[in-house]
Structure 1
Amino acid sequence: MPLLNSELNIQESPAPMDDAAGNILASLGRVRLVDLRACEGLPTDTYKICVSTLTQSLAQYSAAIIQLPPTEGALLRSGLDSARLFFHQRGYSSSEAVHSDDAREWCKTSGYYVDPQMWLEMYDYRPGVTVTEPNAAMELPPSGLPDMFAVLGKVSRDVLDAISFSLNLRSCAFTDILDNIPLRSQEVSSSVLSACCHSRPSFEGAQQHNIASQDDGQLLIFSDQDQQMDKTLLTLVKSDRSGLYVKDMHGRWILVDGDLGPHDVVVYPGLALYHETAGYVNPAVYKTEVGNLQGCMFGRCSLVFKLMPRSVARLSGSEMRAAGHGVDAQFQVPIPVNDFMQTGHSVDQLFPKDTEPSSHAEHDSASFNSVMKKKNGSTRTKPLPPSKRLRLEAQRVLKERVQDIADKKGIKLRFCNIKECESHIRSLDSPCESIRTEIGWPQGVPFVHPHDLPNKAKLGFLEAYEPGWTASQQEMELSFTEPQ
């Protein structure tokens, strides 16, 4: 099914599961939800074909299209109309609450907020949270959110079941890391449904944008954060206008919502599923077009459902090991979901440009089953590559040393953008100077999340908080090369 990779880098793209003709999918896979829902007993041929189409599409395009039954599709279209009206009537001012980048708040977002860099307004619906405005009045949300949350939550779990079937996992293999159905008393949902509005003409928060490419003489305008990955298990998107691009197995940007029917939604995997499947399902890298909406008074509205692991769970890949799959060393240590959500994951570092999937991958004749057999049993622990070890060590030192210093001094860490901070460290009056001084941040190292530092700067960061770290690592490397 999905692309196999190790050391958090895409290395080579084996052919996806063969379809009936043994051919690679020519376009994004489209399956009907009624055919994808599992039933008791032996799988039908229709179910197997749908699972094959879904998993091939996720492997090749990192996305697929799910066709919902008419009643559920009508509910989502009604929800889009309600969201459009909600944002149009609400108005916007620069005093509105800006979306917080604090990763510790990942499972608490609710209500209305804006993201000026993304030209984006959102209303988050999270079961278990009562939303109030600053004046303590109840905020009236777009209508139908609870019903749409229930529909899209069920769809995403059906897709997860199909993925587990393709990987030969037990039924409901992901149940332990998902929220209860229904939620227990006092529980708050980890998953969230967002009604979104991009580039509404009355939105004044965003002034800058990037011109990403040119197509048929028209400029395509994307948000400043033009490459993103969700930390979800799965993300489902229903939009009223096209504009969602996902990177395929060859590194090309594919418009995935340009040909959606009235009952269709786009689904793509996130980083949590990548970790829980030990790298067998790659996360989608995506970006959203925010330009070319001239004459549209409502902007681009969409419904985005994010299926999240519950906050107290651990991502461990245990189901993959139980099914006999080989699990690389980097996935063998369980990760608490809260730690995972607070860890930075850069697209360029997870998938460096020089390790993009090669163009000859589509000619690979290996089937999905043969790929799985190659990986099965491959559980030998190997020393991590230097770049990966640096990332993990930088994250560890941030959590154990730097955060402890900040907590003791009552400092809230808000890291800079790396490009901006290169000028900060040369300035005598920089916005981050006082924080850097108080926590002993090394001279000459930009004040950004250590995960995002260049490798040379990571070494300086590690040596500042753990003197002698480099020498100890050299001794460790020698121990791996010495004969046993």
Structure 2
Amino acid sequence: MAGNGLPSLGRVRLTDLIPSEGLPSDSYKLSVSTLSQSFAQYSAAIIQFPASDGPLLRSCLDSARLYFHQRPSYPAADMIHTNDSREWCKTSGYYADPQLWQETYDYRPGLTPSEPGNSLEFPPAGLIDVFALLGKASRDILDAISFYLNLRSSPFTEVLDNVPLRNREVSSSVLSVCCHARPSFQGAQHHNLTTQEDGRLVIYPDHDHHVDKSLVSIVKSDKAGLHVRDFHGRWVLVDGDLGPQEAVVFPGLALYQATAGYVNPALHRTEINDMPGNMYGRFSLAFKLMPKSMSSLSCSEMRAAGHGVEAQFQLPITVDDFMQRSHPTDQLFNRQSFQSFSFPTAQDGSMKPLLRRRKNNSRCKPLPPSKRLRLEAQRVLKERVQDIADKKGIKLRFCSLKECENHVHALDSPCANIRIEIKWPAGVPFVHPHDLPNKAKISFLEAYEPGWTATHDMDLSPTEPGQAGQHSTNCN
């Protein structure tokens, strides 16, 4: 991602992400591009609220500090909750997880929390206003992602709560006020301790990273400590230099499902350090824009926009089932292979196609020169396109030949959109170099593969994914 990639998390002003009628403004397109590129590289971005919203966020965090400070050292038994997926849309009020050394107050419009004995609970101040602020912002961010993916306006309306909620409706989205590592909270014996390179004491909870099941999450904290794993697999501190009106936004699993994997969810964890001087703990506001439990997550909007949808996303899934399923992160996505297609990995760790000499496989007949030429041209072309896309933080999915034939004459085809997006040179073949005559293939390789000639190492034959069947036909 060096070169044209973002050197750090993208910062976007919320006012620039608010859509308006007519053609998109230059500031809107630039903000959407920055947001999407930051998601592609870091799985997170920084949203700048208007300066007038800074005092509201700060006062809510200050109120949270007082609220948790007056809580008992250890909660009652009925307030100790673990991560029960069946209760994902029913949490409200105070609860604690001693194993994670974390206390939470969930504000969910439509539910009135109460203390044991049916006594009313006085929550942290400002939750109604903060819920409205972050809820509106998360919907604007979701619309910006839809614009970037070339989806229709507000494509997720059917899975979102009504605005405002109707009579007796309960919000699926939730605003969580969190307190990590309050010294007076007797859960400290359940955490893990590690030491950073500079010798500072650092605490990570036992389950040190997880993925939100939201569409979009917005987090505002009073201290740095939120780390998100970027597409290189490195943990990046994302809230280290936030201003009073800034917050971190990242996508969740529901958006990953609804976009057929085009938007990767953020893998994140919380670090609490310098504990001896920490009198209160670390406080944060976390708004999660959630889909309605009675709706379904479908990729129909992605298909309508011309995006390819893989088999695992073909069938709709009800939101309630989706929330109750486990989603192992190592099966959801591989941060090291951010590309839309992958090649077998060579021993040196590169992603170039493996080359093997014919003399090492006496059972295989040599490929005809025309087929070797086609495979070599296709390999080089894909590498060039992918290299440009990586530098721009763009996630590509190439059409198959059959798919491309269906929309090659369309005015708004995915291939044409990608060519425009990455500024691919006009007149240069893009997706299917095997359609070129041999002379054009030779010219293409000589232009884009340094040192390649028509007599280029004919002892080598490339092994491409999807070409195994073609190779087997040439084997005895």
Report if TM-score (shorter chain) is over 0.5.
yes
Shift of 1:105: 0.9
Counterpart residue number, 1:51: 32
Counterpart residue number, 2:22: 41
Query: Is 2:322 the partner of 1:328?
Result: no
Q: 1:374 aligns with which of 398, 403, 413?
A: 398
Counterpart residue number, 2:76: 95
Q: 1:339 aligns with which of 321, 341, 356?
A: 321
SS across alignment from 1:365: helix
1:84-483 residue pairs with structure 2 within 5 A?
A: 84-96=65-77, 97-212=79-194, 214-351=196-333, 364-366=387-389, 372=396, 374-375=398-399
Contact between 1:149 and 1:193, CA under 8 Å: does it hold in 2? yes
SS across alignment from 1:170: coil
Counterpart residue number, 1:71: 52
SS across alignment from 1:173: coil
The alpha-carbon distance between structure 1 residues 212 and 54, as it changes in their structure 2 partners (threshold 3 A), is farther
SS across alignment from 2:105: strand
Question: What does the per-residue CA deviation read over 1:360-380, in whole Å, with 9 as the maximum and x for residues that have no partner?
Answer: 899821377985562589879
Amino acid at match of 1:40: E
SS across alignment from 1:266: strand
The alpha-carbon distance between structure 1 residues 267 and 161, as it changes in their structure 2 partners (threshold 3 A), is same
The alpha-carbon distance between structure 1 residues 353 and 156, as it changes in their structure 2 partners (threshold 3 A), is closer
SS across alignment from 1:326: coil
Contact between 2:36 and 2:148, CA under 8 Å: does it hold in 1? yes
Question: What does the per-residue CA deviation read over 1:12-58, in whole Å, with 9 as the maximum and x for residues that have no partner?
Answer: xxx79xxxxx7100000001111111111111111111111100000
Amino acid at match of 2:224: S
User: Which structure 1 residue ranges, 5 or more long, are not aligned?
Assistant: 1-14, 17-21, 381-482
Q: 1:32 aligns with which of 6, 10, 13?
A: 13
Contact between 2:264 and 2:333, CA under 8 Å: does it hold in 1? no
Shift of 1:205: 1.9
Equivalents in 1 of 2:270, 2:306: separation in Å? 38
The alpha-carbon distance between structure 1 residues 41 and 355, as it changes in their structure 2 partners (threshold 3 A), is closer
Counterpart residue number, 2:443: none
SS across alignment from 2:277: coil
Equivalents in 1 of 2:241, 2:400: separation in Å? 38
The alpha-carbon distance between structure 1 residues 351 and 300, as it changes in their structure 2 partners (threshold 3 A), is same
Amino acid at match of 1:180: N
> How many equivalent pairs are there?
362
Counterpart residue number, 2:345: none
The alpha-carbon distance between structure 1 residues 377 and 195, as it changes in their structure 2 partners (threshold 3 A), is farther
Equivalents in 2 of 1:107, 1:87: separation in Å? 23
Equivalents in 1 of 2:94, 2:170: separation in Å? 18
Question: What does the per-residue CA deviation read over 1:428-454, in whole Å, with 9 as the maximum and x for residues that have no partner?
Answer: xxxxxxxxxxxxxxxxxxxxxxxxxxx
Equivalents in 1 of 2:84, 2:402: separation in Å? 38
The alpha-carbon distance between structure 1 residues 211 and 232, as it changes in their structure 2 partners (threshold 3 A), is same
Amino acid at match of 1:76: L
* TM-score normalised by length of structure 2: 0.72
The alpha-carbon distance between structure 1 residues 127 and 379, as it changes in their structure 2 partners (threshold 3 A), is farther
Counterpart residue number, 1:447: none
Equivalents in 1 of 2:393, 2:336: separation in Å? 28
Equivalents in 2 of 1:370, 1:241: separation in Å? 32
Contact between 1:326 and 1:378, CA under 8 Å: does it hold in 2? no
Which 10-residue stretch deviates more, 99-108 or 51-60? Answer: 99-108
Shift of 1:213: 5.4
Contact between 2:179 and 2:282, CA under 8 Å: does it hold in 1? yes
Amino acid at match of 2:141: V
Question: What does the per-residue CA deviation read over 1:207-237, in whole Å, with 9 as the maximum and x for residues that have no partner?
Answer: 1323455232224221111120010001100
Contact between 2:221 and 2:285, CA under 8 Å: does it hold in 1? yes
Amino acid at match of 2:398: K
Equivalents in 1 of 2:394, 2:263: separation in Å? 16
Equivalents in 2 of 1:44, 1:94: separation in Å? 52
Question: What does the per-residue CA deviation read over 1:157-192, in whole Å, with 9 as the maximum and x for residues that have no partner?
Answer: 010010000000011111111000011111100000
Q: Percent identity?
A: 61
Shift of 1:349: 3.3
Equivalents in 1 of 2:230, 2:271: separation in Å? 17
The alpha-carbon distance between structure 1 residues 186 and 350, as it changes in their structure 2 partners (threshold 3 A), is same
Equivalents in 1 of 2:308, 2:99: separation in Å? 41
Question: What does the per-residue CA deviation read over 1:261-289, in whole Å, with 9 as the maximum and x for residues that have no partner?
Answer: 11100001000000000000000001101
The alpha-carbon distance between structure 1 residues 353 and 260, as it changes in their structure 2 partners (threshold 3 A), is closer
Contact between 1:222 and 1:291, CA under 8 Å: does it hold in 2? no
Contact between 2:200 and 2:273, CA under 8 Å: does it hold in 1? no
Equivalents in 2 of 1:365, 1:277: separation in Å? 23
Equivalents in 2 of 1:378, 1:247: separation in Å? 36
SS across alignment from 1:294: helix
Contact between 1:93 and 1:204, CA under 8 Å: does it hold in 2? yes
CA RMSD, Structure 1 to Structure 2 (Å): 2.6
Equivalents in 2 of 1:293, 1:35: separation in Å? 39
SS across alignment from 1:215: coil
Equivalents in 2 of 1:206, 1:346: separation in Å? 27
The alpha-carbon distance between structure 1 residues 129 and 45, as it changes in their structure 2 partners (threshold 3 A), is same
Contact between 2:159 and 2:292, CA under 8 Å: does it hold in 1? yes
